[in-house]
């Protein structure tokens, strides 16, 4: 864990006091420090008639550019993902070959009460369970083929979009209350702060240290808010992109060999990023460039 504090000078000043106190074992203190870090940097920025609040961070990089925010709002009026939402709903309601539906699986009865429960750490199984995985486990329990992960199966992303939309307005609330959950958090944190690839960049370099700055033509989003709005509809790809798929994309963009989508590392990363977004509204799916 020590290497992580060397990733950026900006992060150094943020992490040092915490490292002394807790050696990375105080997720809530780390989250609050991160929020304070962003509020110290951006809290005096005007955003839609008020000073930027942490709740606004669900809009990603749009918070740094009024023109982008206006474009985003315009695109959300008749969003390009409407067909995908409808397709996701159909998939959700379509009976499996055995006659049952997703609603028969544990915790899946009420579509409005699903998205906000994920990701969570399952102590019995000793692993992070995210929604992608839970959907697949429901399928295989009903003798259906699992969807391929990492964007290889479009149907999974459509189902994710439908469930995200059903839970709009609810808040991210990831709990860490066991040693296993803490280990997963620490693994996710390490993945986030480790430099990698030919460009030798960590997630933190771009999404903490350089948040609000431009890389080529793109404004960089802060980590806080990263998990609120997925799957996102990327106009550049003309398609829905899941959070796991985005992780793989960002790893490839620094020319690193990506971890597999929904493997241990990227589920831990999702757990860490979701914890850092605690208290923010779920508003997926959302348009992104
Ligand atoms: C070299 C810089 C760079 C690195 C390193 C990088 N990303 Fe990104 N990332 C981007 C850019 C550019 C975008 C698109 C603009 C934006 O939304 O930030 C992006 C977008 C994202 C988004 C979507 C944000 C949104 O609002 O939809 C997530 C989530 C994300 N990155 C996570 C990660 C994670 C996790 C890592 C480490 C595995 C990582 N990124 C590494 C540059 C980077």
The tens-digit pLDDT sequence of the chain (289 residues) is: 434 433 444 444 444 444 333 434 599 999 999 999 999 999 999 999 999 999 999 999 999 999 999 999 999 999 999 999 999 999 999 999 999 999 999 999 999 999 999 999 999 999 999 999 999 999 999 999 999 999 899 999 999 999 999 999 999 999 999 999 999 999 999 999 999 999 999 999 999 999 999 999 999 999 999 999 999 999 999 999 999 999 999 999 999 999 999 999 999 999 999 999 999 999 999 999 9
Over the Cα atoms of the chain, what is R_g? 19
Which domains, and CATH codes, for the chain? 2-79+175-288 (1.10.760.10), 82-166 (1.10.760.10)
Our mutation pick for probing the ligand 1 site, out of 57, 198, 221, 258, counting the most ligand atoms within 8 A of Cβ, is: 221
- Cα(142) to centroid(ligand 1), Å: 35
Our mutation pick for probing the ligand 1 site, out of 250, 255, 273, counting the most ligand atoms within 8 A of Cβ, is: 250
- What distance in Å separates the CA atoms of residue 49 and residue 57, rounded to the nearest whole number? 15
Q: Residue 65 CB: number of other CB atoms within 10 A? A: 14
Show Cβ contacts of residue 224 under 8 Å, excluding neighbours closer than 6 positions.
34, 35, 38, 54, 57, 276, 277, 280
């Amino acid at each position: 864990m020590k290497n992580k504090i060397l990733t950026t000078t900006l992060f150094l000043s943020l992490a040092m006091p915490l490292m002394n106190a807790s050696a990375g074992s105080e997720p809530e203190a780390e989250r609050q420090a991160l929020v304070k870090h962003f509020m110290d940097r951006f809290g005096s920025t005007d955003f839609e008639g008020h000073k930027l609040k942490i709740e606004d961070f669900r809009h990603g990089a749009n918070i740094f550019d009024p023109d982008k925010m206006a474009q985003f709002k315009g695109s959300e009026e008749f969003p390009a993902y409407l067909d995908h939402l409808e397709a996701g709903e159909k998939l959700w309601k379509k009976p499996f070959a055995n006659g049952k539906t997703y609603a028969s699986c544990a915790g899946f009865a009420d579509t409005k009460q699903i998205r906000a429960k994920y990701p969570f750490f399952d102590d019995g199984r000793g692993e992070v369970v995210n929604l992608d995985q839970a959907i697949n486990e429901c399928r295989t329990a009903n003798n259906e083929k699992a969807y391929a992960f990492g964007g290889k199966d479009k149907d999974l992303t459509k189902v994710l979009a439908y469930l995200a939309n059903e839970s709009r307005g609810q808040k991210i609330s990831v709990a860490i209350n066991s040693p296993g959950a803490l280990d997963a958090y620490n693994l996710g944190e390490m993945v986030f702060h480790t430099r990698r690839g030919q460009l030798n960049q960590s997630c933190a370099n771009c999404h903490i240290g350089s948040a609000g700055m431009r890389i080529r033509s793109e404004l960089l989003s802060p980590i806080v808010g990263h998990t609120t709005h997925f799957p996102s509809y990327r106009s550049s790809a003309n398609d829905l992109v899941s959070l796991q798929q985005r992780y793989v994309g960002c790893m490839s963009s620094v020319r690193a060999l990506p971890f597999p989508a929904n493997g241990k590392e990227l589920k831990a990363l999702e757990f860490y990023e979701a914890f850092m977004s605690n208290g923010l509204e779920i508003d997926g799916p959302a348009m992104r460039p």
